[in-house]
Structure 1
Amino acid sequence: MLTLLRLEIRRMLADKRFLILMLCLPIFMYLLFTNLFGAGQRAYGLDQNVSLMVSMAAYGAIGAAFMATAPRIAAERTNGWLRQLKVMPIAAHRVVMAKVLCAMVWAIPAIALVDLAAVIDHGVRLAAWQWLGIGGLLWVGTAPFAALGAFLGYLADESAAFGVMYGIYIFLGAVGGLWMPVDVLPTALRHVAVVLPSNRFAELGWNLAAAHGPSRPGVAILVGWLAAFAALAVAAYRRANAAR
């Protein structure tokens, strides 16, 4: 699996369009939202610039995980790579695990560059343990979205995978409280928001920025989504191989 993981990372490096989109989009959105909303307080009583930094770092990490999985995996089903994986002596769950880990690797620069933009453009200051904790938890928390992206890639064909992925990406950002506080959403959507993985994902960073620990319900929800998406991804991979 380590050999497969190294190969997946090398293949990802060759995709310059992906790298540019992954690195630039979350920074642009952070600068856009901070200038639109201005100063003030947001989630957990945090400064607007800090809260939006965590939100957009989380949003960028989700986008990186999705872009590294769904459209690329869907393309692999037509370019012959899935057939190559089928003849390799590696179990289905290990193939999916390699895809998830590779996607998580590409979430790291998306998180780090948004944090850097917050420091340079808005002078955000946090304790060293908070920077490390936010980065580490957001990186680990990317796993459910990478698993979801893998599931979509093995489920949808190449022409539909990106559209489906992007629709889910927008929904998770808007309803999950990454674009705006959950408190301003209609009551029905607030109940939906608190069980979405995107909301609980960003909550990891919001809590640490406010000097609090991760909430147990939030962690439990994320672990539950990870288990569900990983199982679906493995099942979809086996189905795609059987169809092939």
Structure 2
Amino acid sequence: MDAIDRSTPVRFSASRAYMQEARYEFLRLWRTPSFSLPCLLFPAVFYLLFGVLLGGRGGPDAARYMLAGYSVFGIMGVALFGFGVTVAMDREQGLLTLKRAQPMPPGAYLAAKVAMAMLFSTVILALLAALAIGVAGVRLAPAQWLGLVVACLLGVLPFSALGLWLGTLVGGRGAPALINLVYLPMAFLSGLWVPLSMLPGLLQELAPAWPAYHLSRIAQAQVGFGDGAPLGLHVLVLLGVTLLFLALARRRLATP
């Protein structure tokens, strides 16, 4: 048997490490039906029921308006649960400690989760687009479709940061309940399920306190329902939310 040449250095590829971590994270959640099925199907089912069937009196315009809201609703769920629940479980089981001891790039863990959230979000947006075009008769220009997709995919980031922070507050069993307490009220109070004009005046005034409100405004502008206000303010708010919760999560994760 030939002797192994141990003098040959083993080459470490950071890009390969990132790709492998992202692949395994996606497969981990894709093979978890309790995560993948609700995240992928709920936005499409809710849009079909409330945006198309019950909102059918408004015609394609109503379906187009609700398309923006349920697109934001879908990517929110993936980001919050994909980060919050898995981070809580990984902390509880000691997996984060194990990963820190491995020779992997420090950012690969979080980058993999962001990639996972964007991949799942892409599938959700494709399902919603198929329903909007095939069932509701929604017609958008290619630039509008592109704008909606880009806005939603970038919108994954602030909710990923929020989910990451929530995942540091509780254990794996308590994470789904905590995230639902944030996710569902925020979706309703931000006007994702019904137009804000249908909510009481006080709730309309408080809506800008929610990150989902600002992303929904950006998404609505892409499908032709902009209010004429500059979108830069909404972008700045979402950027601030991202940085704030990343800092809070980092502080929590640094605590033994």
Q: Residue 159 of structure 1: SS of its match in structure 2?
A: coil
Q: Which residue of structure 2 aligns with residue 206 of structure 1?
A: 220
Report the alpha carbon displacement of residue 57 of structure 1 after superposing the two structures with TM.
1.2
Deviates more, 1:86-95 or 1:223-232: 86-95
1:36-70, CA deviations, whole angstroms, 9 ceiling, x for partnerless residues?
233228xxxx8110011111111011111122111
Q: Deviations over 1:165-193 (max 9, x none)?
A: 01111111111110122223223322221
Larger radius of gyration: 2
Aligned with 2:70 (options 35, 48, 56): 56
Which stretch shows the higher mean deviation, 184-193 or 194-203?
Answer: 184-193
Residue 218 (structure 1) aligned to one of 211, 219, 234 = 234
Misfit runs of 4+, over 6 Å? none
C-alpha distance in 2, partners of 1:157/1:58? 27
Alignment of 1:169-184 (within 5 A): 169-184=183-198
- Aligned-pair distance for 1:137? 1.1
Between Structure 1 and Structure 2, which shows a larger proportion of helix residues? 1
- Is 1:4 equivalent to 2:18 in the alignment? no
Q: Specify whether residues 211 and 47 from structure 1 end up closer, same or farther in structure 2 by C-alpha distance, changes over 3 A only.
A: closer
Q: Does 1:70 align with 2:84?
A: yes
Counterpart in the other structure of 1:138: 152
Q: Which amino acid aligns with 2:88?
A: A
1:13 aligns with 2:30: yes
Instruction: Report matched runs for 1:218-237 at 5 Å.
Output: 218-237=234-253
Matched, 1:159 2:173: yes
Structure 1 residue runs of 5 or longer lacking an equivalent are none
**How far 1:236 sits from its partner (Å)?**
2.1
Structure 2 residues not aligned, in runs of 5+:
1-16
Report whether the alignment pairs 1:33 with 2:69. Answer: no
3-state DSSP of counterpart to 1:177: coil
CA distance in 2, matches of 1:167, 1:54: 22
C-alpha distance 233-90 of structure 1, shift in aligned 2 (>3 A)? farther
The secondary structure found in structure 1 opposite 2:58 is: coil
Trace 1:69-108 onto structure 2 (pairs within 5 A): 69-89=83-103, 95-108=109-122
Give the partner amino acid of 1:238: A
The alpha-carbon distance between structure 1 residues 217 and 108, as it changes in their structure 2 partners (threshold 3 A), is same
**Equivalent residue pairs, number:** 236
- Give, in whole Å, the separation in 1 of the partners of 2:170 and 2:105: 21
Alpha-carbon contact 2:148-2:223 (below 8 Å) kept? yes
Deviation at 1:91, TM superposition (A): 7.1
Is the 1:65–1:106 contact (alpha carbons within 8 Å) kept by the matching residues of 2?
no
Please report how far the alpha carbon of residue 233 of structure 1 lies from its aligned counterpart in structure 2 after TM superposition.
1.9
Measure the CA separation in 2 of the matches of 1:95 and 1:132. Answer: 28
Report percent identity of matched pairs: 29
RMSD, aligned CA: 2.2
Q: Give 1:89 shift.
A: 4.3
Partners of 1:171 and 1:95 in 2: CA distance: 29
| Amino acid in structure 2 at the alignment position of 1:163 | A
Q: For the Cα contact (< 8 Å) 1:130–1:211, is it kept in 2?
A: no
Amino acid at match of 2:75: A
**Which segment drifts farther, 177-186 or 10-19?**
10-19
Q: Which amino acid aligns with 2:253?
A: Y
